[in-house]
A and B are shown apart, each in its own frame.
Chain A
């Protein structure tokens, strides 16, 4: 339902993967490749390294671009098509650039009952970002509406990069979290 419109206008249609935004780099670092090879050795089948390798590629590239997927396929030695399929199936692989601080706001039922919809609007207002429209111009913030973060008991719940913050019922708490991000108290995205 919510698939974005393909941007190409030429007579030669692009393959689905090629419609994805491109990243600046296209090679994994040797350390990352070594890390992927270590993971491959742990499992009976090297294919099992696909998900962990994509997490590593996301950390290196900032988001899972087409070249990140290609680099993963090359590092593991599996068909590119398999990696495209996996990367586009899972929502935690960002297929477009995100901000330095990526806000995942849960708006599912338990959080919604305690004001998640209003919280999401507040986050968008404070950061000046609309979900799905990329990061703010300064590259600082991005916002995503996500499904249950398993913080239902102290909802509404948001996740900033990889840290979870619960019970953000009042605006003050949100401002505190954002201030802490600006001070650099939390780890930026992809580190």
Chain B
């Protein structure tokens, strides 16, 4: 087994004012401290397992109500209210006892997103505590934590942390005298972006190819191993202990009324201080990019920002003031997604950037639905042609005609995700595509984004 990582993560986590009432540190508490994953440290310094002990004294339905009252929306991308999702789980009836599962989605693969990694690195016990509270609220028999295969050192850390919790009596049989049996298992993925989709993740967890399932039945009816299952993101579950500690109503005061709480935003690309910043939802994008991340690292003006991981349509200058919450970002034509902000300066060639993104979707398409499997590949080939100076003007209309034939015509949102960057780049930076076709070279002078070593 590999040695656990001992050198600090070079990501930036903090900024002046972080931890104050304006910028509460609910999930990145203690980030940067490599000893924080020990149960002792978590309990002594960060109110560890206080929320769990309180929750186990409450009725399960009261815990779900508390999470509902907090108004927290799923942090994985879709922004579905987590409390509501929990309440969909079928209850036991006198005739039928149900085996329920809670699954944690830690298959973080969205380009531009690196928040779960930080929680797993520095705060694994908060995730475990959240999984225990969630498991109690839904009376689950088991909790599975699915982590992407590349995070081997984090898996080892998480397993060690789970063992500490087990030794402390927080997991296993008859937890803290409640008569409730519950345990956690970590499942290691093997490198497939599609497994971030919840039904694909369930298939992968069952030892199958990560192909999304036909819905309905939704996981709450038929999920992992055929049993009712709730799938939550790492960040959502890590937010549960603070919610229980401060109370749902108090948590709901953070952020905006319909987008409550804090969220971890990852800023990457052309900025001076890229890193993860935990901020209340509704924080304006230009504050995050300019004030916290320090603005453009190249000295050039910022041309485009992807507001929610690679799948979100790009924003240009006129939307840089957009408050980062699920509803406003959606109203402005993009999506808050996974909270990864990718910043591009004006020297970035948008044809290359789009080609790189579409190549990702073409590579990661599971191949189940024809529109996505064929469409993404064709978009890649057409963009490749444009990038290599062999494009025709008709290609732009061809690209524009492809996206409505992929979007909303597939089992899962991967096809839609590929259309987001494609459509927005074509609409907002069409002149760069046209320049590429007429002049057979980039409109900008930035460095190459695509390697000469060829696609994999």
Which single residue of chain A is at the shortest CB-CB distance from B310? A109
Given contacts A54-B190, A93-B190, A144-B456, is CB(A150)–CB(B451) below 8 Å?
no
- Verify if A170 is at the interface (C-beta below 8 Å from B): no
Interfacial residues of chain A within 79-134, with CB under 8 A of chain B in the complex: 82, 85-86, 89-93, 104, 107-110, 112-118, 120-121, 124, 130-132
Given the complex of chains A and B, what is the CA–CA distance between A98 and B3 in angstroms? Answer: 21
Given contacts A51-B204, A92-B190, is CB(A152)–CB(B455) below 8 Å?
no
The reply to whether A112 and B112 form a contact with Cβ atoms under 8 Å apart is no
- Verify if A2 is at the interface (C-beta below 8 Å from B): yes
Q: How many residues of B contact A (CB 8 A)?
A: 76
Interfacial residues of chain B within 359-390, with CB under 8 A of chain A in the complex: 360, 362-364, 366, 377, 380-381
Given contacts A92-B149, A152-B268, is CB(A55)–CB(B207) below 8 Å?
no
The reply to whether B451 and A120 form a contact with Cβ atoms under 8 Å apart is yes
Interface size class of A (residues with CB under 8 A): 35 or more
The reply to whether A92 and B191 form a contact with Cβ atoms under 8 Å apart is yes
Interfacial residues of chain B within 270-297, with CB under 8 A of chain A in the complex: 270, 274-276
Mark the stretch among B29-37, B103-111, B250-258, B322-330 that contacts chain A: B103-111
The reply to whether A49 and B207 form a contact with Cβ atoms under 8 Å apart is yes
Residues of B whose CB lies within 8 Å of any CB of A are 2-3, 5, 9-12, 108-114, 116-117, 148-153, 185, 187-193, 204-210, 225, 227, 266-270, 274-276, 306, 310, 340, 342-344, 348, 352-353, 356-357, 360, 362-364, 366, 377, 380-381, 447-456
Neighbour of B456 across the interface among A115, A131, A161, CB < 8 A: A131
The reply to whether B380 and A1 form a contact with Cβ atoms under 8 Å apart is yes
**How close is A121's CB to chain B, nearest CB, in angstroms?**
6
14 A-B pairs besides A115-B447, A131-B456 with CB distance below 8 A are: A48-B205, A90-B189, A91-B191, A108-B310, A109-B306, A109-B353, A117-B450, A118-B447, A132-B454, A150-B148, A150-B150, A153-B114, A154-B275, A187-B3
6 contacts between A and B (CB under 8 A): A2-B456, A50-B207, A55-B190, A113-B270, A150-B114, A164-B150
Chain B contacts for A52, CB-based, 8 A: 187-188
Given contacts A147-B363, A149-B150, is CB(A110)–CB(B451) below 8 Å?
no
The reply to whether A154 and B274 form a contact with Cβ atoms under 8 Å apart is yes
The reply to whether A124 and B453 form a contact with Cβ atoms under 8 Å apart is yes
Given the complex of chains A and B, what is the CA–CA distance between A147 and B353 in angstroms? Answer: 14
Chain B contacts for A146, CB-based, 8 A: 191, 456
